[in-house]
Amino acid sequence: MGPPISLYPGQEASNCSAVLLDTGNFVLHELNSDGTVKRDLWQSFDYPTDTLLPGMKLGFSTKSEQTWSLKSWRSDVVPDTGAFTFGMNVDSIPGNEFNIMQHDEEYWTGGFSQDEGYQHKPINGFTLQDQRGSSYAFSKISNENETYFNYSANKDIKTFPRLRIDYLGKLYLGERLLVQCSFPSLASDNQGCVKKKLPGCRSDHITFAERSGYFVDTDGYEFHADDNLTHVDCEDKCVTICSCVAFEPTKKDGTGCNVWTTMPKFEMDLNAPKVYFLESEAKFVNAAKPNRWWIWLIVAVGVVIITLFFFLCYAKINKKRVAEGERKRKQNMLIQELGGEGGFGPVYKGKLADGREIAIKRLSKSSGQGLLEFKNEVILIAKLQHTNLVRLLGFCIQEEENMLIYEYMPNKSLDIFLFDSTKKCILNWKTRFNIIEGIAQGLVYLHKYSRLRIVHRDLKASNILLDEEMNPKISDFGLARIFGLKESEENTNRVVGTYGYMSPEYAMNGVVSIKTDVFSFGVLLLEIVSGKKNNSRYHSDHPLNLIEYAWKLWNEEIQVSEIKAESCSVNNVTVSVMKPR
């Protein structure tokens, strides 16, 4: 609890009463003996914060030397006084009555008109409308004791009436934006923004790009500046330091700033705090120099001739070296096409210089997946570590070439064994059950135990790879969706995946959740147990897909007749395909 606030110092008063009026004004009255109001000792309307309500004053008193102005918050969650003050110019001219101050410097000045712009004309009263069309009538009162503006809202107003300045210096009427000066206040005079003085090392075209993530190391960290700095103060500080490239808030409430002067390695993370990078069309503005174009022309021609001579000599000498290097490179990496195409494009087998075998996925121009899905897979798999997830060894993005380098799976994908009349004999029941269990373990990790909660969205037999011991590994994360720890589902307008494996709520309504993968896993489980494809048709009288056919057999209590493994456990099959209760 802080110290008490003196509301009416220097005078005695008895029989007092405090009341919160419907206008939002909190008033302390001194009452007469009969209960009527004798005088007002104190009222909150005399001490505005960041919001002006109907009936409050915006101006100054020449008698009491009191000023009524709006003061911004320090951040969107810290109500302490921030960087901006909105009020009346003491020495104003008609039509230019208002200004916004950033600390002690003028940030914006002007007057309002009926339209969207600003007009410098005498104003004793004017009307503005908010974003819903509700009218606010402003009036100017000026006498020998005080000069101020106040306003009233029409009775049929649809929103709570208020005039507010936020912590970034933006002025709102209701939710309508009245004033916004883009950094560094480069707008022309008729918009009222005052251009800031920039150091010679900065150009006029400066912006700050917002990214979520964190710096991997401390290289380039310059200093920590607290001093209750606001976000705009940190922008100004970064601009005035010629070597500054970025800043981040010191505190979770968005105040203070850590300044970075060189660009260290930055890790993108949507759940991490925001970092603000300074961007400019020209980092340095060169001073004008005497015109010596003919000297520069001679020098340029000479440099080109000398460079061309040395380049031709180097090319001739290096020709044999390049040919030898190409021969060795081909020896060090033997590449052959594995056959077939995944969601990205063709898959190749390669061998590194140390003898390790690798799988190379190359993004095809005709692929249904693009660069966005490619980057999504790189970001996700790099952060996931599980024995039942395929391991990413590296990637390549160069011009139009995009490749993913994986550990090599000698047995390729599950569908090659599952739906081949000859190879399916290799999948005895023990192997099938181990594959089912491994896929389930991988899904549990994605949904519950990984650093990111992930829904795969395209779980199917061709995306399950098998190592040399027939252990399953989930692959192809290009369509995966990241969820927050407290998020359970979301809607999407872009339904992607493979029909037959999609849950009904996802295929028809675009609802994505963990249940999306669980449904796909159920379809995949039926395929593994039965050895049949889901998109095939069964039962000659009434063609059914695999799910409908399995349900029919289950209801007829024909539980294991469709299992194609050489040997199996009826109990394990029953556990794998359990009838809902």
CATH number at residue 525: 1.10.510.10
**pLDDT tops 80 at residue 518:** yes
Beta strands in 290-389 (DSSP E): 336-341, 346-351, 357-362
- Does 322 fall in a domain? no
- Does 195 fall in a domain? no
Where residue 444 falls among pLDDT bands split at 50, 70, 90? very high
Structural domains counted in the chain: 4
Do residues 155 and 236 share a domain?
Answer: no
- Does 308 fall in a domain? no
Where residue 281 falls among pLDDT bands split at 50, 70, 90? very low
Do residues 79 and 54 share a domain?
Answer: yes
pLDDT in tens, 2-38: 556 666 566 676 788 888 988 888 998 888 888 888 8
pLDDT in tens, 482-512: 887 677 778 777 778 888 899 888 888 889 9
Do residues 32 and 125 share a domain?
Answer: no
**pLDDT tops 50 at residue 349:** yes
DSSP 3-state of 439: helix
- Does 518 fall in a domain? yes
Do residues 77 and 105 share a domain?
Answer: yes
Do residues 26 and 58 share a domain?
Answer: no
pTM above 0.85, yes or no: no
Total Cβ atoms within 10 A of residue 359 = 21
Do residues 21 and 64 share a domain?
Answer: no
Where residue 329 falls among pLDDT bands split at 50, 70, 90? low
Which of 262-266, 333-337, 391-395 has the highest average model confidence (pLDDT)? Answer: 391-395
Helix (H) or strand (E) holding 376: helix 371-383
DSSP 3-state of 179: strand
- Does 325 fall in a domain? no
Helix-strand-coil split of the chain, %, nearest 5: 25, 30, 45
Q: Which residue has the higher pLDDT, 432 or 153?
A: 432
What does the alpha-carbon distance between residue 491 and residue 512 come to, in Å, rounded to a whole number? 6
- Does 319 fall in a domain? no
- Does 324 fall in a domain? no
Do residues 116 and 250 share a domain?
Answer: no
What does the alpha-carbon distance between residue 129 and residue 145 come to, in Å, rounded to a whole number? 30
At a CB cut-off of 8 Å and minimum separation 6, what does 50 contact?
Answer: 70, 71, 72, 73, 79, 164, 165, 166
Beta strands in 103-167 (DSSP E): 105-110, 125-129, 135-142, 146-153, 163-165
Residue 26 sits in which domain range?
A: 8-43
DSSP 3-state of 96: coil
The answer for 493, left when phi > 0, alpha when psi is -120 to 50, beta otherwise, is: alpha
Given this model, what pLDDT does residue 70 score?
93
Do residues 232 and 349 share a domain?
Answer: no
Which residues make beta-bridge pairs with 392? 406
**By mean pLDDT, which of 257-261, 407-411, 493-497 is the weakest?**
493-497
**How does 54-78 read in b/e, with b if 16+ C-beta sit within 10 Å?**
bebbbbbeeeeeebbbbbbbbbeeb
Q: Among 407, 548, 410, 527, which Cα is nearest to 461's?
A: 527
Do residues 27 and 75 share a domain?
Answer: no
The gap between the terminal CA atoms of the chain, to the nearest Å, is 58
DSSP 3-state of 352: coil
Residue 118: both structure tokens together:
């600003």
**pLDDT tops 80 at residue 99:** yes
The whole-number average pLDDT for the span 514-528 is 93
pLDDT in tens, 352-404: 888 888 888 887 766 556 677 778 788 878 788 899 999 888 888 887 788 88
- Does 188 fall in a domain? no
Do residues 90 and 32 share a domain?
Answer: no
Given this model, what pLDDT does residue 537 score?
61
Total Cβ atoms within 10 A of residue 437 = 13
Question: Catalytic residues, which ones?
Answer: 458
Do residues 413 and 441 share a domain?
Answer: yes
Average per-residue pLDDT for the chain: 78
Q: Which residue has the higher pLDDT, 576 or 248?
A: 248
Report whether 431 contacts 425 (CB < 8 A): no
Given this model, what pLDDT does residue 525 score?
93
Percent of the chain with pLDDT over 90: 13
Report whether 518 contacts 505 (CB < 8 A): no
Q: Among 184, 214, 210, 226, which Cα is nearest to 74's?
A: 226
Last residue of a domain, one of 164, 181, 198: 181
Do residues 272 and 406 share a domain?
Answer: no
